[in-house]
A and B are shown apart, each in its own frame.
Chain A
């Protein structure tokens, strides 16, 4: 068995990896614990969070409605800076959407069993983040009611067709594919748990709905077999998407001629950045959720430790990319290119640049220390910084490249308007509203998977690290 391999680094007291589930649980304990939030009425905390999220969502809806009714002019864009908050938010949310697939598909294929505690919520997060992301390219259009023109469908306009040279069109394909695969993957993974809920529920609406949704799951070996085959295939399909989506998003910039955008390093740089920000967001949510939903036994410090390590490595790649960009600008001998990067670091938006560097490169370095990784409050603070930093990364790429490009006569400033800020807040509202509803209606941990991955009711020796965790 994979977990049984000796891990010398880990612990002197045991040669085995720590168990993935703490608290000496039985199989029914697991089901009961995870389904508990669904069984009881929402807590005051949930209601509080929900009201705040919903308010933010409503604010966003009003802002978007106003903007569509009045014009893009309600944003702070101008003749030189044609994208700013809109595409920054888009890339930010797409990036966040990456961790879900990474954890679900890639780690699944690599047989990383620890993923089972976080994959469900990471997938849900992906789904909601991609939904948030998808809104921005839609509403950033001057005439969003004509968005369907971006789709190559048979039409009566003669030879008029979409432009397959345009990265924005690739975006349409990439994002919609990603959304579709993520949704299917999430839903397929949910099937056995839906069956569990069906079986646990008293006769009533919940039972009836879950009975339909679980597609007649009967728990037979054949069902399990087919389910696992499909899941494996979907994981295989989803894996390339982890790399393709953000590669294509990065091409929005990389294929442009604007110095600061026109960079071949963008695809790997963006993918690393996306995973980085996605992990940060997963951690943000997990740290809160395990506390609020009493899932400390399932989402253990081990999980957090591993995610921190992954995040640290991604952060280092991102930092390397920042450095490479500067080197390439220097090495290119192209004055425009050199200027853009100097201007990033020292120009009017240098505050944004240094915020980005501090949050994404400097602060995550503390994760080298195990003590830091084991301290939840510290990790929480770090991941919040990473979230902020990754938003600024996109802002810096988009706005600082645009605001001072080739002709100095056109150099411009940018400042967001209230409408833009409200829209941004609204996207968080949508995300958290969806996530909070998800916590109420579906198991936040894949029950079936964690049962398979965890060694339940193991001898006491294996539980030793658990005690150490609690002490910390």
Chain B
């Protein structure tokens, strides 16, 4: 067939034969309007133009692999760096878990001599503070964003203009960093009247003052609770907020583990007016108004002096309401444990603190349970200095004011006059990380790095110096205070250089062994701390002569107001952290608010119910309107308000949590989270007093609803519905030390033992691992660090005030708190409650879609993507530990989302969730063991709650491993299971509370017969 030949096709014979011929190769005279070729040309053109158009320059994204892979860095695996917690001045050791360049999970540094691997809620919450989009990202000049060059130039200019005798005040919270201290000193050097003033929002200055008087040195002793057999505390909340709670909890805990072979425990008495976390853990708690501490201490001093054949303090002891029998008992115990006891007091009255020193001295505790030769530096606030600053400010004599680490105006009384006088200072510089109350007055705000972003060091107690290292590149254009001061002094060094050179010059010489600097430094960076020689302190003789009995407080008709800081929030520093705002107070279980704690008697007298609004008016005329909270165990004459609330900028939380038809804002329009009670701080006797007498309390109209996570507070069921013989539930079992010594299983309720007969054949044999947990209730203080640890590890959302009020908080672990006894001798039990991973789990059988199933290793697993949300499992959970995603909780803050743990799914609306026993950590540990070719070692897998527990109350491990700690815990005679009699076979056990009390009456739990009245 030749090429020219036209091939003809026909559709039908007629066509073939007729005229109509279909030409395949177009040879028609009039071509179709759009030929195939033209179409292809046009289409090709269009496509290529579109393609070229799409090839415009995108924003270049650099995703280069590291040229030199850092040693041991595996993408997706957590790197842990030793550091120091910057949450407060306590200086706990930190192990920062960094994943792909972002710090995610804070853990306690296990080898740290102070914190022993514990970390409090604040430390756990650091990542959320780091990834806070409200932190300043550049310096401010007169309230406007600026850059460092401009600010440095302007500050230096202003500084140069100052005359040499200008009064320059540098106010900081306690500075434990020797490098920073040196930098401040050298910065102030050119100014003859330059003063560094330390101001602690919750001050302990009178302790230092008292030691000045009795020991000749202004020091804060290092308290060694681990060595104390008898602990007497006057208001000092050393397990909650006082000075160094993690360190003290670890120490206190060491005396709280009685065993069958060694049934001994420390004895802890607490005298206090308000109900503190520490008081809740005491063996015996006496209600005592703060102004009566002096009386009790005086009588104790008299008693002990008599026993010791020493001269009692001069003067006449004031009277007290505590019975002499009780006092005699305490004195006897102290005397028996002389050299091994400890008396602490949070009073800001120097004479009272001197009396405490006298007692500790006569009892021979100095050098044993109190260390003044290696003193603590965790609280250095000097209220007398502060008073000078305020006077100078009021007199208009201050030329420059620098404030770092504290919000000066927020944390001080007489706000208006203070603000007015600060406005007149020519140079005001703040180093705050956000525009706080003081920073809003400052000419320059030079935001400091977050503690996870910078190099610094800390010497919380003499001889222990720890390092902080940055764990990520600073998120904003912030700058370390060290660097700022260095710039203004004319230097140009980085914080790293500054710290390192300081260490080379000043710390290395104190090293215990001689070694090259680099080796010393590397070791310190690796460990996070270095133990060095203390700076030589010559102990002075105890000056007993100056100790006098304080005068009897004058009779007063009003209330005594006691200001305190809430565990997990302390002062205003962490008020912008929603995890901590939603952390239930360990005692009141209230979130997102401060309130006036009143005793039940007071409430009855004033006709107050919980959350009724009250007005508190001080003698000075200052007043505050807050909701009331009826607190069991509170002294009738004492009312208490938490500091650290009403912080500027916390109205940002107005919209936190789900927004829907009936949702109420977390913060009412125009208000803040809580109210600032610092107005009631009182400069008296040279110290900033946290208590104030002659305070009026009145009920005003209106009430709010406090967002509390717990509504019923005893294990006793309401009397009108209590069944005979089951008035008290044995959820928390407890016994006394004498009973325990006699019979280690004392406190076990007498119930019918149904045996281990199972109706059905075991369908999960758990021949490999069988994970289990035990919580030693005798160690657990209820501090709630585990809550935040879990929240951080497991991406638990924050739900806001209204949702908590509706009882829909999402915490996977909660700490139940129950009261028993009466106000005068109250017992409190704290019980962490999380998923019990029951072997006969009631939740598993009822799920229609098998979204919650039993794992081969005993874990009760929740498959989020299978869950349809019937909530049947939660209804059927006897421990009520399941949490439902009622809404889509906020995850739209990109910066904040950096704090999310990539190992744990972020749950969507409509699914159930609960404690997984940190299954991601278990799998990680198993993989690691597999990689090393070893069996999983006991202790290598730690749940988040267990890891951070300052009291080491949580034990986790493989119950099938006979050598594991959990296995031993299960054989502990104190072991019991909650609701065990129902045969849920929980994998979580508790170790019974043992109270060091003489009285044989067993408290609730086993004491069924006592409650029949």
Question: CB within 8 A of A335: which of B712, B729, B845, B885?
Answer: B729
Q: Does B602 contact A (CB under 8 A)?
A: no
Pairwise interchain contact B711-A141, C-beta atoms closer than 8 A: no
Closest to B731 in A: A407
Interface membership of chain B positions 827-853, coded 1 if the CB is closer than 8 angstroms to chain A and 0 otherwise: 000010100000000100111111000
Tell me the complex Cα distance, A188–B910, Å: 41
Question: CB within 8 A of B833: which of A66, A347, A407?
Answer: A407
Closest to B869 in A: A142
Pairwise interchain contact B848-A258, C-beta atoms closer than 8 A: no
Tell me the complex Cα distance, A256–B872, Å: 9
Q: Does A169 contact B (CB under 8 A)?
A: yes
Pairwise interchain contact A168-B846, C-beta atoms closer than 8 A: yes
Q: Indicate whether A405 sits within 8 Å of B887 (C-beta atoms), given known contacts A71-B658, A73-B660.
A: no
Question: CB within 8 A of A163: which of B658, B662, B849?
Answer: B849
Chain B positions within 8 Å of A338 at CB level: 723-724, 726
Pairwise interchain contact B722-A258, C-beta atoms closer than 8 A: no
Closest to B871 in A: A82
Tell me the complex Cα distance, A412–B710, Å: 8
Q: Does B271 contact A (CB under 8 A)?
A: no
Pairwise interchain contact B871-A77, C-beta atoms closer than 8 A: yes
Pairwise interchain contact B871-A73, C-beta atoms closer than 8 A: no
Chain B positions within 8 Å of A339 at CB level: 717, 721-723, 726
Interface membership of chain A positions 126-147, coded 1 if the CB is closer than 8 angstroms to chain B and 0 otherwise: 0000000000010011111011
Pairwise interchain contact A143-B867, C-beta atoms closer than 8 A: yes
- Which chain B residues in 846-865 approach chain A with CB under 8 Å? 846-850
Pairwise interchain contact B660-A409, C-beta atoms closer than 8 A: no
- Which chain B residues in 862-881 approach chain A with CB under 8 Å? 866-872, 874-876, 878-880
Tell me the complex Cα distance, A163–B846, Å: 8
Chain A positions within 8 Å of B283 at CB level: none
Pairwise interchain contact A335-B880, C-beta atoms closer than 8 A: no
Closest to A347 in B: B721
Tell me the complex Cα distance, A141–B867, Å: 9
Tell me the complex Cα distance, A149–B849, Å: 7
Pairwise interchain contact A169-B848, C-beta atoms closer than 8 A: yes
Chain B positions within 8 Å of A47 at CB level: none
Tell me the complex Cα distance, A142–B884, Å: 9
Tell me the complex Cα distance, A71–B866, Å: 17
Q: Chain B CB within 10 Å — which of A72, A144, A417 has the most?
A: A72
Pairwise interchain contact B806-A76, C-beta atoms closer than 8 A: yes
Q: Does A358 contact B (CB under 8 A)?
A: no
Q: Does B818 contact A (CB under 8 A)?
A: yes
Pairwise interchain contact B721-A342, C-beta atoms closer than 8 A: yes
Tell me the complex Cα distance, A347–B885, Å: 29
B609 to chain A minimum Cβ distance, whole angstroms, is 15
Question: CB within 8 A of A412: which of B807, B850, B869?
Answer: B807
Tell me the complex Cα distance, A150–B882, Å: 21
- Which chain A residues in 40-83 approach chain B with CB under 8 Å? 66, 70-74, 76-80, 82-83
Q: Indicate whether A346 sits within 8 Å of B720 (C-beta atoms), given known contacts A79-B883, A142-B871, A162-B850.
A: yes
Pairwise interchain contact B886-A71, C-beta atoms closer than 8 A: yes
Pairwise interchain contact B842-A80, C-beta atoms closer than 8 A: no
Q: Does A191 contact B (CB under 8 A)?
A: no
Pairwise interchain contact B872-A141, C-beta atoms closer than 8 A: no
Q: Does B18 contact A (CB under 8 A)?
A: no
Chain A positions within 8 Å of B715 at CB level: 408
Chain B positions within 8 Å of A413 at CB level: 711, 807
Q: Chain A CB within 10 Å — which of B662, B722, B878, B911 has the most?
A: B878
The interface size of chain A toward B, counting residues with CB under 8 Å, comes to: 61
Chain A positions within 8 Å of B712 at CB level: 404, 408-409, 411
Chain A positions within 8 Å of B551 at CB level: none
Tell me the complex Cα distance, A404–B807, Å: 13
Q: Chain B CB within 10 Å — which of A149, A257, A404, A405 has the most?
A: A257
Question: CB within 8 A of B884: which of A72, A252, A405?
Answer: A72
Chain A positions within 8 Å of B874 at CB level: 79, 82
Q: Indicate whether A256 sits within 8 Å of B880 (C-beta atoms), given known contacts A407-B833, A412-B807.
A: no
B143 to chain A minimum Cβ distance, whole angstroms, is 39
Pairwise interchain contact A406-B870, C-beta atoms closer than 8 A: no
Q: Indicate whether A78 sits within 8 Å of B808 (C-beta atoms), given known contacts A408-B729, A418-B662.
A: yes
Tell me the complex Cα distance, A144–B867, Å: 11
Pairwise interchain contact A143-B869, C-beta atoms closer than 8 A: yes
Chain A positions within 8 Å of B866 at CB level: 149, 160
Q: Does B725 contact A (CB under 8 A)?
A: yes
Q: Does B888 contact A (CB under 8 A)?
A: yes
Tell me the complex Cα distance, A335–B731, Å: 13
Q: Does A443 contact B (CB under 8 A)?
A: no
Q: Indicate whether A409 sits within 8 Å of B833 (C-beta atoms), given known contacts A142-B909, A258-B875.
A: yes
Q: Chain A CB within 10 Å — which of B712, B724, B866, B912 has the most?
A: B712
Question: CB within 8 A of B817: which of A70, A143, A409, A419?
Answer: A409
Question: CB within 8 A of A78: which of B718, B807, B876?
Answer: B807
Q: Does B34 contact A (CB under 8 A)?
A: no
Q: Indicate whether A406 sits within 8 Å of B723 (C-beta atoms), given known contacts A82-B884, A150-B848, A418-B661.
A: no
Chain A positions within 8 Å of B718 at CB level: 343, 347
Q: Does A402 contact B (CB under 8 A)?
A: yes
Q: Does A167 contact B (CB under 8 A)?
A: yes
Chain B positions within 8 Å of A257 at CB level: 842, 876, 878, 982, 984
- Which chain B residues in 693-750 approach chain A with CB under 8 Å? 710-715, 717-718, 720-726, 729, 731
A138 to chain B minimum Cβ distance, whole angstroms, is 10
Closest to A73 in B: B886
Pairwise interchain contact B870-A168, C-beta atoms closer than 8 A: yes
Question: CB within 8 A of B910: which of A142, A166, A169, A406?
Answer: A142
Q: Does B479 contact A (CB under 8 A)?
A: no
Tell me the complex Cα distance, A169–B866, Å: 15
Q: Does A354 contact B (CB under 8 A)?
A: no
Tell me the complex Cα distance, A78–B886, Å: 9
Question: CB within 8 A of A409: which of B808, B814, B883, B887?
Answer: B814
Q: Indicate whether A410 sits within 8 Å of B880 (C-beta atoms), given known contacts A141-B910, A150-B848.
A: yes
Q: Does B668 contact A (CB under 8 A)?
A: no
Closest to A150 in B: B848
B752 to chain A minimum Cβ distance, whole angstroms, is 9
Question: CB within 8 A of A150: which of B723, B868, B886, B984?
Answer: B868
- Which chain A residues in 390-447 approach chain B with CB under 8 Å? 402, 404-413, 417-419
B851 to chain A minimum Cβ distance, whole angstroms, is 9
- Which chain A residues in 236-291 approach chain B with CB under 8 Å? 252, 255-258
Q: Does A161 contact B (CB under 8 A)?
A: yes
A242 to chain B minimum Cβ distance, whole angstroms, is 24
B1004 to chain A minimum Cβ distance, whole angstroms, is 11
Closest to B883 in A: A79
Tell me the complex Cα distance, A390–B780, Å: 47
Tell me the complex Cα distance, A160–B851, Å: 10
A158 to chain B minimum Cβ distance, whole angstroms, is 12
Chain A positions within 8 Å of B876 at CB level: 256-258
Tell me the complex Cα distance, A415–B93, Å: 47
B305 to chain A minimum Cβ distance, whole angstroms, is 46
Q: Could you tell me which A residues sit within 8 Å of B by CB distance?
A: 66, 70-74, 76-80, 82-83, 137, 140-144, 146-147, 149-150, 160-163, 165-169, 172, 252, 255-258, 335-336, 338-339, 342-343, 345-347, 402, 404-413, 417-419
Instruction: Report 19 cross-chain contacts, Cβ distance below 8 Å, ordered by A residue.
Output: A73-B887, A77-B886, A78-B808, A79-B809, A79-B880, A82-B875, A83-B871, A83-B875, A142-B868, A143-B909, A143-B911, A146-B868, A165-B845, A166-B845, A339-B726, A407-B816, A408-B712, A409-B818, A417-B661
By Cβ-Cβ distance, the 9 closest A-B pairs, closest first, are A142-B869, A335-B726, A142-B910, A73-B886, A338-B723, A82-B871, A409-B816, A410-B880, A78-B807
Taking A161-B850, A255-B845, A409-B710 as given, write out 4 further A-B residue pairs in contact, using a Cβ cutoff of 8 Å, ordered by the A residue number: A150-B849, A257-B982, A406-B731, A408-B713
Q: Could you tell me which B residues sit within 8 Å of A by CB distance?
A: 658, 660-662, 710-715, 717-718, 720-726, 729, 731, 803, 806-809, 814, 816-818, 831, 833, 842, 845-850, 866-872, 874-876, 878-880, 882-888, 908-912, 978-979, 982, 984
